Homo-oligomer: A and B are copies of this chain.
Amino acid sequence: MFSLAEENYLKAIYHLESKTQGAVSTNAIADAMATKPSSVTDMVQKLADKKVLSYIKYKGTSLTDKGKKTAANVIRKHRLWEVFLVEKLNFHWDEVHDIAEQLEHVHSTELIARLDKFLGFPDFDPHGDPIPDKHGNIKPTEKKLLSELNKNQKGVCVGVKESNSDFLQYLDKKHITIGTKISVLGKEFFDGSMVIQVGRDQFFISKKIAENLYMQTN
């Protein structure tokens, strides 16, 4: 059993590992967790003792299989609770993260099994992120960023990269959500901006927006 602090470290390291190749640096973890590098060193040494990650002084850390599974399980809980909050309690998708941050630390495998069933065994959370199965496995999906599409390509929005409130509220204003069809009408190669079509609306979006929307093109 892992403490709340330990679970949060494992989760952060798991996400960092998936974003970069090789061992995760102490500073990167400190940044991600808004804490100090010295605190990270302490915790990482403790987690190495518990065999959930391997740590080499000055060289960084990487999760063991046990660590990956533990982290994925916390992420599974987080995302299932987010589905619950949106689907059952009618929260908006920009309001659920902080509450899920707390709920993810409730320990009960039976609870999560039943919640999963109650929600109809969802595959994705409200932000389009995949929900790991009970073994910690995530089925790979072929998605690309909207910014990678070219003129005249189209697809369906399947997720958001960032999910802070400002961004999600912008998407709402533009009527973009998971499942929305988007066509690229124009793309400016100088700054990466685009003109896109959403429903009957056509409008301009910046590169920053396009880089935070995951699309599936078939």
Binding site for B on A (CB under 8 A): 85, 88-91, 95, 98-99, 102-103, 106-108, 110-111, 114-115, 118
**Could you say which residues of chain B place their CB within 8 Å of the CB of A111?**
85, 89, 99
CB distance from A96 to the nearest CB of B (A): 10
Q: Could you tell me the distance between the alpha carbons of A111 and B106 in the complex, rounded to whole angstroms?
A: 15
Residues of B within 8 A of A85 (CB): 111
17 pairs from A and B in contact (CB 8 Å cutoff): A85-B111, A88-B88, A88-B118, A89-B111, A89-B114, A89-B115, A89-B118, A91-B110, A91-B114, A95-B110, A98-B108, A99-B106, A99-B108, A99-B111, A102-B108, A103-B103, A106-B106
Of A107, A111, A115, chain B has the most CB atoms within 10 Å of the CB of A111
Bound-state Cα–Cα, A91 to B110, Å: 9
- The closest CB in chain B to the CB of A113 belongs to B89
Q: How far is the CB of A66 from chain B (nearest CB, A)?
A: 23
Q: A88-B118, A89-B115, A103-B103 are in contact. List 7 more A-B contacts (CB 8 A).
A: A85-B111, A88-B88, A91-B110, A99-B106, A99-B108, A102-B107, A106-B106
A91 neighbours in B (Cβ, 8 Å):
110, 114
CB distance from A161 to the nearest CB of B (A): 25
CB contacts (< 8 Å) of A107 on chain B: these are 102
Q: Indicate which residue in B95, B102, B110, B114 contacts A106 across the interface (CB closer than 8 Å).
A: B102
Nearest first, the 4 A-B pairs at minimum CB distance are: A89-B114, A102-B106, A99-B108, A99-B111
A51 to chain B, nearest CB (A): 26
Q: Which residue from chain B places its CB closest to the CB of A102 in the assembled complex?
A: B106
Nearest neighbor of A111 in chain B, beta-carbon distance: B99
Closest B residue by C-beta to A88: B118
Give Cα A89–Cα B117 distance, bound, in whole angstroms: 8
Determine the distance from Cα of A44 to Cα of B98 in the docked complex, in whole angstroms: 30
Q: Identify which of A90, A106, A107 gathers the most chain B CB atoms within 10 Å of its CB.
A: A106
